[in-house]
Amino acid sequence: MRNLARIASRSLLRQGRRNRLLGAAIAFSFFVIVVIASVLGGMVHSLEDKAKIYYGGDITIRGIEAGRNKVVRDAPAIAAAALTILGPGPVISERYEHRASSTTLFFGGESLRQRILIGIDYSIEAELFSRFNYVEGSFEGIRGSNGILISEPIARILKARVGDDILILTPTLKGQKNTATVVVRGIFRDSSLFGYYTSYLDIDFLRGLVGAPSGFCTNMAIFFPGGRPSRSTVAMLQRGLEREFPFSPLYDRQQDFWDAVAAERAPGIKYALLGLDANLEQV
């Protein structure tokens, strides 16, 4: 054993330069790995924050009726039941998502299609929307108005600034075309998939624009200010809600819910509880 130690020490001393180079290479490689991990971690965190706003909080409740109409019929009752299960702390908000590929924004001779318009109750989701990285303006003052939040890429294409009036053209729920003038209240920095084709308006204004009845919503956002809920919390909420409402099982992917309901073709309405990971999976 002593001979082995003597031989090893002699080898290290005689090849000191080579060993120093090897040590430097290992240290540099470790540094690169740490930097890459930090960058990826920051990107994932940023993506999750944007996804919370886009999909609706840490947990989203979605509903579908007769296999095709996306709607939540029992929103106030579901919200009350969820708060009873979760206790004080989480923020629950109704949302209205209007998806129409022909929706178009017009300004100064330029136009841009929008994949989705999201109606928000800013009095409830103020904390969530304060997280936006605003280039100009903010979400404040949009509640109850014709204000709109657009991303920086949209503003750049339209050459629009905060305070500008934009014309919006979109089909109503009955298939008719409707137009309205909206005022740019905030421009946020987001060149991702979430921001490029999505704009945010007051929920009541959007309902009126597309002819949706008062109180109509397509999904509900549950946001946990203290951080993402644990899987056990999500499972507890699932068990509690499915005792009172027609909830599907928990799915790991949002698309699995749509596929299951479409295949079932059952009458009535069906709800799903979707965590942030289930929503992000399709991204």
Structure tokens, 270: 């069906």
> Could you tell me the pLDDT band of residue 21, with boundaries at 50, 70 and 90?
low
Assess whether pLDDT exceeds 60 at residue 45: no
Give the model confidence (pLDDT) of 161-212 as tens digits.
999 999 999 999 988 999 999 999 999 987 666 667 889 999 999 999 999 9
Q: What is the pLDDT at residue 38? A: 42
Assess whether pLDDT exceeds 70 at residue 35: no
Structure tokens, 98: 């209007």
3-class SS of residue 179: strand
Give the model confidence (pLDDT) of 70-97 as tens digits.
889 889 999 999 999 998 889 999 999 9
Q: What is the pLDDT at residue 227? A: 79
> Could you tell me the pLDDT band of residue 42, with boundaries at 50, 70 and 90?
very low
Q: How far is CA 190 from CA 51, 152, 154, 198, in A?
A: 11, 6, 10, 10
Stronger pLDDT, 19 or 266, i.e. the higher one: 266
Q: What is the pLDDT at residue 186? A: 94
DSSP 52: I
Tokens 């909830």 found at: 247
Structure tokens, 273: 């509880």
Q: What is the pLDDT at residue 264? A: 72
Angle between helices 16-51 and 2-14 (to 10 degrees): 80
Residues of the chain with pLDDT > 90: what percent?
41
- Rounded Cα gap, residues 219 and 216, in angstroms: 10
Assess whether pLDDT exceeds 70 at residue 10: no
Q: What is the pLDDT of the chain when averaged over all its residues?
A: 81
- Rounded Cα gap, residues 197 and 183, in angstroms: 18
pLDDT (mean) for 242-265: 83
Q: How far is CA 155 from CA 79, 85, 151, in A?
A: 35, 42, 6
